[in-house]
Chain A
């Protein structure tokens, strides 16, 4: 039976009704991996043995009459920047290629409690810096819809794994759009939760004030189920919010009558591929048809999101990545003359060009004499962007727009032009600066490539977003399309 293209909730029903076993699910996914991984290259590390024994434990529990939680036995792929005890965690960087963490990230503990099955660790842009997965120091992942194209980034491996049937669900991290944009390119559901909703403990930091772990899934229901598992306060993370996590599936009613949705004109104008815009316009019609009230609005500081992001994120990254110096773990350059030489050579050889570029940008932005002109000013812009959203959410329950200005581009197309590459995240960056939640769901196709629709909500308004996304999904079949 072809189980790898089913959803987690479908598989759970079959598991509970004893039509299948967890081991069969896991083996089906690994069979699929054997079949397509050579072309897709989504995984850095596969953990088959561990996965099978984990699945067997689920089957044993079921035999013994235990009630199975919704994600028990469900194969999940994990981005390779989340620490997995005993399983190497590389961040797709040469500098961590041999690093095996002695502890689990909090999300991994949650997945284990939920009895989900980890398939492996997925490829990404090095240290989550990039928008195409081409910055991986290991290899490039391909888009399952067209292997000449990128899967998006930086969580491209996770998005591609779900799209290609190499996992049922996946975890990614989103610092400036790194879940939503690859979800858009790969035609799957991807969500960035509110900053503080999911613990960052064990997520190898890129930019601490922006990073957030979130789910990839094939439909909105699965997204809600995975969100249920990973959300919640963590005493190990000071920035994690103390709040009561609702059952996110309870929002999946199909009813969005009277919901007020704003469409910021900044997300529909220049820079957006007209074909992408057409798909979003059609989506707007569907929402209107479902009884939602849509209206144009404005987020006037949107154009400053990109420059603000490219000061704040690199500034934090320059500090967060200082620990990779060859002293304690990871790569160490050989033949260094003295201590400083060892630091310099290790970092010069260990980091890829994009990581170095951002470390230098960040170091410069934080330097004495430039701090106020750059970093501090960027923080002020961040405040203005947040205020834009606050104002908009006084009037609207949700905001809507495209996830990315384009569909998946060809490999190598933008890799030599960093600025052009940065523009791909133009629709997603502001959400991270504001700390609000947002989802990308499949909304249609252009030239046989998926287009993502982005829904943004109030802080901790994940439920509202899921409600609208689910209603859209129930009335379309974009999420059922599969790559060949």
Chain B
């Protein structure tokens, strides 16, 4: 079998977090009743005209700057013409030959290797509405249209075909998501469709310089799906080539349930969008001063922050990378460290127990009920020996589920660590008296037997006895 390599480029749509739509004053709120946030302009009624939302242009510039792009000084909107019932005007206002930003890049790290991925362009456009079918699109007796989303501002970020594996594509999308989230121009919620990704994939024999025929992959709505779909598609194309056949240029969709990509439409059916400058919108002349102002307002981005966490807190690279995947998580971490100055311990708790419980419950850091201050308080209790490490885990879980203060949890559940030597001494005596066999074993040289006796003490104190003291007292008594 010949050696093949994949060439992958991603097109990512990001919904901008403005209060109003791109060309009118309708609200962009997610989840409203169908056709609740519409007006004559976003419905494209006869006679209406678009007026661009300045915030959209500002956000697009901000995203472009965060992705190291050059910002255009002259830009314009074009019409992309095609018929679809969820597109009220039957053209989409987008940008064609003069996008707002071009020639950017971002850095990814896959298996310890750094790689730079080029960003071809960032352009602005309006979103379309949503069709609601009863059942599937091919069998539905009728379809309903919800225009709430029409005119919601999007930016499309097109990468260079610089990726060669599913791992790289996922790393790129993760980094892209982090950067955009840091800028605050979008919340990038994939499950709400505010971050959507298409992939262009082709495969060629190693050593060949020209690109193979590509397929465009749509409908991947999670990192997992993106990884699986790209891996599947690379494999599929390699097999086609291996069989001596040709890859067809087409648009394919990812069928999550079956775990395969399926053909949607071929190049022969491809649209002629008949792009031309939208005569209803004056070209955009972007002042340098405005771009500089936006640049000055950019927050610290993930890469800078990662480096700072390493240098300021002495964290391992790995921890810093995980903690900076979202701005919220990094903020959470730093707020916590400010109140409890043990950076590595804080990192361990966030990357360990917190991450595990978030994963299990499907929460994001923004949903977590434990505040950074509460986590810091809990770590202080642990540090002072008020609670043991084991109890800390119980306390933490209760905090996660109820949002209660650690002190309150400890008090309500009576979880304060017993460090009273007299009290522990009494329990130790009882355990020794009740377990003569183990005492004998230990004294006969079976060191392990002490573990059982410690366990018995802990059990009878419901885990609250200070384990160090238990060990010490037991040993003293048994070694007598």
Contacts and interface: CB of A to CB of B under 8 A. Distances in A.
Contacts of B281: 238-239
28 contacts: A89-B47, A99-B46, A101-B46, A101-B47, A102-B40, A201-B49, A202-B47, A205-B46, A205-B280, A237-B51, A238-B49, A238-B52, A239-B280, A315-B276, A318-B81, A319-B79, A319-B276, A322-B81, A323-B46, A323-B90, A325-B83, A325-B85, A327-B85, A328-B43, A340-B83, A366-B81, A366-B275, A368-B274
Interface in B37-88: 40, 43-52, 79, 81, 83, 85, 88
B257 to A, nearest CB: 25
B244 interface: no
Nearest to B81: A319
Nearest to B276: A366
Contacts of A339: 85
Nearest to A208: B279
Contacts of A96: 46
A238 B275 CA distance: 20
B272 interface: yes
A237 B43 contact: no
Contacts of B83: 322, 325, 340, 343
Which residue of B47, B83, B280 has the most chain A CB atoms within 10 A of its CB atom? Answer: B47
Nearest to B278: A208
A208 B79 CA distance: 13
A6 interface: no
Contact of A322 (B49, B90, B145): B90
Interface string A193-212: 00000001111110111000
Interface of B: 40, 43-52, 79, 81, 83, 85, 88-91, 145, 272, 274-276, 279-282
A103 interface: yes
Interface in A306-334: 315-316, 318-319, 322-323, 325, 327-329
Given A209-B279, A237-B51, A239-B280, A323 B44 contact: yes
Contacts of A323: 44, 46, 88-90
Contacts of A209: 279
B10 to A, nearest CB: 25
B47 A319 contact: no
Given A99-B46, A102-B45, A238 B280 contact: yes
B48 A202 contact: yes
- Interface SS of chain A: helix, strand, loop or mixed? loop
A83 interface: yes
A318 B274 CA distance: 10
A14 interface: no
A91 interface: yes
Given A209-B279, A366-B276, A235 B45 contact: no
A319 B51 contact: no
Given A238-B281, A327-B145, A319 B274 contact: yes
A91 B46 contact: yes
Contacts of A366: 81, 274-276
A363 interface: yes
Contacts of B90: 322-323, 325
Contacts of B81: 318-319, 322, 366
Contacts of B46: 83, 89, 91, 96, 99, 101, 204-205, 323
A205 B45 CA distance: 11
A316 B50 CA distance: 15
A322 B91 contact: yes
A82 interface: yes
Contacts of A340: 83
